[in-house]
Structure 1
Amino acid sequence: MFINRKGTSVKITLVRHGRPVASSNPRVTAVGFAKWVRAYNRSFVRPDSLPPQELQDKFLNSYTFSSDLNRSRHSAEICLGKEADLVLGDLREMDIPRLKLPFSMSVNSWLVIARLCWFLGISGNSESYKTGCKRIVSVVDQITTKVSEHEDVAIFGHGISNRLIAKELKRRGWAIKYSSKGFWGQTELTNITNCSS
C-alpha cells in the first residue's frame, strides 16, 4: 500500500457513471447524431443499471465529486444514497464534435469517428482536445487538494475524462492499483509520494 508523508494511505477512485436511459445505438444521420448527443447529455441512469454492492460500500467514508451532467450526478446519488459532496462542471465529459457528413451510420460508428477527429484536433465549435486537457489539469489540482485533506476521494465522471484524469495523476506520481471498464467501471490510484504533489 502506498503511503503519504503522514504515514497514511491516500486513494483516488474514478468511477464511470451507470448506463444512461438514452444509451442506444440506432442508425442516424449527422443531424440525428447531434440530437442523440443532446439527449444523452440530458439523460439520467436507467433503473436497472445498479452499481455492485462492493462499490457502494467502498465509498462510505470517501469525499466525493461528481460531474454536473445528469448521468454522473444520478450515479453518485444511486451509489451513495445522496448527492456528491462537490459537483464540478469541469468534470464533465469531453465534448463530441458534430460532423456534417452526408450519410447515415450507427451511433457507435459516429462516436468512434467523432472521437478520432477530436483527438486529431478537429473539434469544430466544440471544446478542443487542447482546451479539454487544460480543463483536466485544473480539475486534478482541485482533486489532489481534497485528497490532502480527506485521503480518500471518489469521482463520479465519464469514460474519456476519467482516462485523462488518470493520465494526469500518473504524471504527478500516482499509480493505478486497479482498473475496470464499462458502465460503473472504476480506476483506483494511490500515491507513492506526498498526496499534494
Structure 2
Amino acid sequence: MASVLTAEVPVASANTRPGAIILARHGEPALSRKVRLSAEEYRTFWESYEVLGLLPGQTPPETLVRFVERCGTLVASTRLRSIESAEALARGREFTRHDMLIEAPLPPPKWPAWVRMSPKMWGFWARVWWWFFDHHEGQETRREAERRADEAAAMLTALAERGEDVVVLAHGFFNFMIGRALKRRGWRLAWSEGYKYWSMRRFERAR
C-alpha cells in the first residue's frame, strides 16, 4: 500500500547505533462493545469501528507521552483512531501517516443469525478464521497482510537506523504482525505491555 505524507529517510552512518522501535496501540475508540451481535451485525460494527475516532476524555499514559517526547520519529496509521491518538501524544509536533499500518481485516465467519456474541468474541473468531482458514471475503489475505507487515518493518527499521527511537501509533493485531516481521529482521522484544489500548511493545536491535 502507498503511504501518505512520507519523507525521505537519510542514510545513517555505519557507526550509528539503531534507535528502538516502540509499537503502540491507539486509544479506546468511540464505540461501545457492551452489545451482543450476529455475524452480519458484527460486520456493520467493524465497518463503524474502522472509521470512528477516539472516545472523548481519554488521557494517554505518561510513560507513552515521555517516549513520544524523546523519540526521533512519530508515525501513525491513516485510521482516525490512530491519528487522534498520535495528535493527543504529539502536542503540536508533526508526525507521519502511513496507510501500510492500518489494521488487518476482520470479516466474521458466516455463522447463522442465532449465534450472537460480544464484539470481542467476534473479533477473536474472525481473526482465527482469517488467520488459519484464509477467510477474507475478497479483502486482504493473511499472506498479503504479512507482506505489508514486512514492508512496514523495513520502513521502521530504516527510520530507527538513523539512531533515534521511532514510536508507532497503530493497531493491536497488525502491530503483532509487524513485531513478527521485526524479529525476522534481527530485532528483539525488550519489553511489552500487551495489546490493550495505549499499550506499548519496545523492540531493540539484537546484538
The TM-score, its normalising length taken from structure 1, stands at 0.89
In structure 2, distance between residues paired with 1:116 and 1:98: 9
Q: How high is the sequence identity, in percent, across the aligned residues?
A: 26
- Following superposition, the deviation at residue 173 of structure 1 comes to 1.0
Match of 2:105 in 1: 95
Match of 1:21 in 2: 30
Match of 2:50 in 1: 41
Counterpart code for 1:106: S
In structure 2, distance between residues paired with 1:24 and 1:42: 15
Post-superposition Cα deviations, 1:5-25, rounded to whole Å, max 9, x if no partner, equal 626452110000011111413
Structure 1 vs Structure 2 CA RMSD: 1.8
Match of 1:58 in 2: 67
Whether 1:170 aligns to 2:183 is yes
1:34-183 map, 5 Å: 34-62=43-71, 63-82=73-92, 85-103=95-113, 104-120=116-132, 121-181=134-194, 182-183=196-197
- Following superposition, the deviation at residue 84 of structure 1 comes to 5.3
Post-superposition Cα deviations, 1:118-144, rounded to whole Å, max 9, x if no partner, equal 111122222111110011111111111
- Following superposition, the deviation at residue 83 of structure 1 comes to 6.6
Cα contact 2:76–2:98 (8 A) shared by 1: yes
Counterpart code for 1:34: R
Counterpart code for 1:153: V
In structure 2, distance between residues paired with 1:31 and 1:58: 40
Q: 1:40 to 1:84 in 2, by over 3 A?
A: farther
SS in 2 for 1:28: coil
Counterpart code for 2:28: R
Structure 1 unaligned residues grouped into runs of 5+: none
Counterpart code for 1:117: W
Structure 2 unaligned residues grouped into runs of 5+: 1-12
In structure 2, distance between residues paired with 1:8 and 1:138: 21
